[in-house]
Structure 1
Amino acid sequence: MWPKFVANKFLRKMLGSNNIVADFPNSTETMLDLEETSSTSSDQASLISSRKYITGDQGRHKIFVGSWNVGGVAPPDDLNMEDWLCKHTDPADIYVLGFQEVVPLSAGNIVLGLENSKICSRWNSLIREALNNSISKHVQEDKVGEFYKVHPLKNHSIASLDKSSNNFPHCFDCITSKQMVGIFITVWVRNDLLPYIQHPSVSCVGCGIMGCLGNKGSVSVRFCLHETSFCFVCSHLASGGKEGDEKNRNANATEILSRTRFSRGPLRNLPRKILDHDQVIWLGDFNYRIYLPDTTTRSLVQKKEWNMLLERDQLKAELMKGHVFQGWREGIIEFAPTYKYYQNSQVYYGCDQKRKGEKKRAPAWCDRIIWFGEGLKQKEYSRGESRLSDHRPVRAIFIAEIEVPSDSRRLGSSFTGRFRCLKDHLEECSNEKISCNVDRTSFYSE
């Protein structure tokens, strides 16, 4: 066996690739380049320091955040995502979706830590179809050999930048998509906001086996919208239902907070650590359980006594004791525990009397969404009802107050010309099939 510190160094480096997949071809100027190429660094610093900020609806944006442990189950082609995403009721401006166990946590997947472009492309195609259902005729998915291909979006994606009518159906583009073993996060933005998105970056932290492998850990995404920095942390923390296992989860969270690092940006003034950002949302399978005997927990679940169960919820208890997530907030939980179900069933694991000899796992709110920072107001906290895996997906909707420069209209109009170039390039490529894992822009942090 290698010495532990050598293995840690090697394996952390292997999992530390910060390249991301987005909806912009390599040869085209992207949102990352727009502000950076429009002026020198000294001109930028002067512009930033002299900007005035405005309030009102222009400074508010709706953010949808969802988390789902899919249990290593590949999504079927007919999986209905719209119910979970609530797209048909009142669409958000930004969608941040985090998944855990997108691939089975086998020894090979954990040790090699290779990204599975096929499964991630499949999830992204389903998300694209759900978010852009009004224009889905422009998006097709083919199976060619063993790889899934996605055709580039055509005129509607860029043309909507010139539309001022609220009735015009905006489409959504992926600005960041990143996988580490079973953890996968993907961020989608309404395309008229693309000119104001800057500095997307990712940071991966593995804290599973040997304290470094990616079966547990996090993938974090950073970007700036106007002058407000956002950070989204998608994690899968240590499992286990025994007393004392919550300490392992606390340790994972502490590791993620201390080891996550982002690039400093072109002016070297961007936040590097999670808590340095203006607004932070943490989503994932936290794996915290309930401090009650199994039979008591199941009885209270059957009676829907959520308040009594939440009084013994491990995450809330650890928060109150100050052992983890100090200063973080969570919305009121008014839904049933999200774990653990029989697959394709509404029955909690261990409740089927016909299946004897099973290891019983009491229901728990393993899947959570919490937030940190000022300017975030949660409007909804609920769960979906898909039976694809042994977890139910959760979702939260936030209204984010952001700092908007008073000259944003001028900046937006100047960016439109640059995006017309992107439109022309996409039209040239419209007859070609672009693989989700190639011919996409990769951005690297320091």
Structure 2
Amino acid sequence: MSKTQKINAWNVDLYIVTWNVSSKYPDASPLTNLLGLEKNPENDNHQPDFYVIGLQEINAQPQNMVLGFFKDDPWTQRFKEILKERDYVAVKSEQMQGMLLILFAKRKHILHLRQIETEYTRTGLGGMWGNKGAISIRLSLYGTAVSIVNAHLAAHDHMLDERIVDFNQILDNHHYHVKMYREIFDHDYVFWFGDLNFRLNGENETTPQDIRAMIQKDKLSELLDRDQLNSVRKEGRAFYQLNERLPAFPPTFKFERGTSNYDMKRRPAWCDRILYKVRADAYQNVQLSIEQTSYKSHPGYTISDHKPVTSEFVIKVFEDPAEKSIEFAYIPSWHIGEDNSILYTIPEGFEENDGTDWIAIYRSDFSSFSEYVGYEYTARVDEKKSPRTKNRNVRRSLRLEFSENIDLTDGESYILLYFQSTGLKGVTGMAGMSNVFRAEKRPPSPRFEAVD
């Protein structure tokens, strides 16, 4: 984008959840309240544009990890169920042992999420084990670059130096493949959250009972003066690049499971945090901005020894003039059990990656990019009917044949999505969407001997 080009800009809102679930599965407690929603979608006062769900210590036993290759874990399933009926799509997820990160977007935005990539860094056992570390998703959200980081740092009061080492190790080893946005802090917006495990200074001076008494007397500001995260940020030792609104809620760790009573075996602390950063002056023609509209804990959830924390942000995004989209020709219907031919047009300047772009077919009410029914790589374009050209500066139309073996249901509605592979490791984005069409099974043609 030209630094001086006039562009359209507007605000979108993003809602972040961080929760150490202590290896527990979801219970009967409704998660709608955690998401700022009502049980009935019709009663929702507000539905954000994006949800980011960051969990730590999900049940990552070997049998569950193997099962995760075939279906979503119970937490992902629960969040999908809630958000699907509100027209959200799970765009991307990443898991590293017990850490899970999921990005949901309102369906109207998904065509404008490009160059999506995940990354992870292990810091447990000197970088050999993934029980601690960070997982992230980076993407181009309209014209802005966003990095979303879910971290779980070293535990225990006396391990402050190890937490700082973890932070720097994540920065040193977390590298993306998108040009200009190789590192976390290269991005226009950064959201860094998780069980950061920072405790309160004065381990030998204040007991768990002392801290609990101060909480009961609402002396949170005095406790925050001892907060390790605030201290290391002020000293420039870690997280100083990021901003945080001071928590106005009580410490979120450690609780007796099933209650909202602090466990006196540990000193209560604000382990669960959400920080952010914006490069406000990254462009000459638009001023980026971020407003944190909420930051709170949810004490009503008791299955874990941590309380979940949420925060909502309003950020400014802008139209990307360089964004190109595939145009599908109208598809009247899909014939089950037959080869189907589709026509699509590649706009001028579109970076098609020969052989690794693909077109997938989904049910029209899909709730995740992983729910495709079938797909074909664009490398299978019929060269005779649609001759390719190496010239990317011309508009061109191509025809692709889908196999008769794709299993669709008669009478159901479907849609095609075009996925663009940039040629960089693991970097993809959706770049086109067809009309919704019905699948139908045509009656067989009459045999010759059946014709009078």
| Fold match (TM-score > 0.5) | yes
One-letter amino acid of the counterpart of residue 234, structure 1: N
Answer yes or no: is 1:388 the counterpart of 2:344: no
Q: 1:417, 1:192 → 2: CA distance? A: 20
Change (3 A) 1:427 1:240: closer
Change (3 A) 1:278 1:407: closer
Matches within 5 A, 1:178-189: 178-189=94-105
The structure with the larger Rg is 2
Matches within 5 A, 1:13-24: none
Q: 1:401 aligns with which of 291, 300, 316?
A: 316
Answer yes or no: is 1:191 the counterpart of 2:172: no
Q: 1:437, 1:205 → 2: CA distance? A: 29
Q: 1:318, 1:72 → 2: CA distance? A: 29
- The answer for the alignment partner of 2:253 in structure 1 is 339
One-letter amino acid of the counterpart of residue 303, structure 1: K
- The answer for the alignment partner of 2:20 in structure 1 is 69
Q: 1:329 aligns with which of 229, 243, 253?
A: 243
- The answer for the alignment partner of 2:199 in structure 1 is 289
Q: Is the 8 A contact 2:361 2:373 kept in 1?
A: no
What do residues 108-154 of structure 1 show as CA deviations (whole Å, max 9, x unaligned)? 69xx98684478432222112222345xxxxxxxxxxxxxxxxxxxx
In percent, how many aligned pairs have the same letter?
A: 25
Give, in angstroms, the shift of residue 384 of structure 1.
1.6
Answer yes or no: is 1:54 the counterpart of 2:7: yes
Q: Is the 8 A contact 1:291 1:312 kept in 2?
A: yes
Q: 2:180, 2:66 → 1: CA distance? A: 29
Give, in angstroms, the shift of residue 327 of structure 1.
2.4
Answer yes or no: is 1:425 the counterpart of 2:361: yes
- The answer for the alignment partner of 2:73 in structure 1 is 121
Give, in angstroms, the shift of residue 427 of structure 1.
3.9
TM-score scaled by structure 1?
A: 0.68
Answer yes or no: is 1:261 the counterpart of 2:175: yes
Give, in angstroms, the shift of residue 259 of structure 1.
0.6
Answer yes or no: is 1:86 the counterpart of 2:33: no
One-letter amino acid of the counterpart of residue 224, structure 2: L
Q: Is the 8 A contact 1:204 1:220 kept in 2?
A: yes
Change (3 A) 1:212 1:438: farther
Q: Is the 8 A contact 2:113 2:141 kept in 1?
A: yes
Q: 2:295, 2:270 → 1: CA distance? A: 13
Change (3 A) 1:418 1:401: farther
Give, in angstroms, the shift of residue 296 of structure 1.
2.3
Answer yes or no: is 1:100 the counterpart of 2:36: no
Give, in angstroms, the shift of residue 301 of structure 1.
1.4
One-letter amino acid of the counterpart of residue 319, structure 2: V
Change (3 A) 1:117 1:207: same
Give, in angstroms, the shift of residue 50 of structure 1.
9.0
Q: 1:274, 1:199 → 2: CA distance? A: 15
Instruction: Return 399-408 or 64-73, whichever deviates more.
Output: 399-408
Number of aligned residues: 336
- The answer for the alignment partner of 1:319 in structure 2 is 233
Q: 1:118, 1:348 → 2: CA distance? A: 38
Give, in angstroms, the shift of residue 102 of structure 1.
0.6
One-letter amino acid of the counterpart of residue 214, structure 2: L
Q: 2:165, 2:331 → 1: CA distance? A: 44
One-letter amino acid of the counterpart of residue 82, structure 1: T
Q: Is the 8 A contact 2:20 2:55 kept in 1?
A: yes
TM-score scaled by structure 2?
A: 0.67
- The answer for the alignment partner of 1:278 in structure 2 is 188
Q: Is the 8 A contact 1:65 1:396 kept in 2?
A: yes
Change (3 A) 1:113 1:126: closer
SS state at 1:390 partner: coil
Answer yes or no: is 1:371 the counterpart of 2:276: yes
SS state at 2:59 partner: coil
What do residues 218-273 of structure 1 show as CA deviations (whole Å, max 9, x unaligned)? 0011010111000000010000122xx11110110111111101122xxxx34111
Instruction: Return 304-313 or 368-377, whichever deviates more.
Output: 368-377
Change (3 A) 1:52 1:337: same
Q: 1:179, 1:442 → 2: CA distance? A: 23
Q: Is the 8 A contact 1:51 1:407 kept in 2?
A: no
Change (3 A) 1:442 1:130: farther
Structure 2: gaps of 5 or more residues: 38-43, 281-288, 333-341, 343-357, 376-418, 428-452
Higher relative contact order (CA 8 A, sep 6+): 1
Q: 1:300, 1:428 → 2: CA distance? A: 54
Change (3 A) 1:51 1:406: farther
Q: 2:171, 2:144 → 1: CA distance? A: 20
Change (3 A) 1:437 1:346: farther
Q: 1:429, 1:201 → 2: CA distance? A: 24
Q: 1:399, 1:282 → 2: CA distance? A: 16
Q: 2:305, 2:201 → 1: CA distance? A: 21
Q: Is the 8 A contact 2:220 2:248 kept in 1?
A: yes
Change (3 A) 1:392 1:174: same
The structure carrying a bigger strand percent of its residues is 2
SS state at 1:330 partner: coil
- The answer for the alignment partner of 1:298 in structure 2 is 212
What do residues 321-379 of structure 1 show as CA deviations (whole Å, max 9, x unaligned)? 111112210013111111111111011112xxxxxxxxx10111000000122322211
Answer yes or no: is 1:222 the counterpart of 2:138: yes
What do residues 263-305 of structure 1 show as CA deviations (whole Å, max 9, x unaligned)? 22xxxx3411101111000010000001131232121112121
Q: Is the 8 A contact 1:95 1:189 kept in 2?
A: yes
Change (3 A) 1:68 1:382: same
- The answer for the alignment partner of 1:445 in structure 2 is 426
One-letter amino acid of the counterpart of residue 331, structure 1: R
Q: 1:115, 1:442 → 2: CA distance? A: 29
Change (3 A) 1:276 1:435: closer
Structure 1: gaps of 5 or more residues: 1-47, 135-170, 351-359
Change (3 A) 1:388 1:51: farther
Q: Is the 8 A contact 2:361 2:374 kept in 1?
A: no
Q: Is the 8 A contact 2:11 2:317 kept in 1?
A: yes
SS state at 2:33 partner: helix
Give, in angstroms, the shift of residue 397 of structure 1.
0.5
- The answer for the alignment partner of 1:149 in structure 2 is none
Give, in angstroms, the shift of residue 306 of structure 1.
0.9
SS state at 2:259 partner: coil
SS state at 1:215 partner: strand
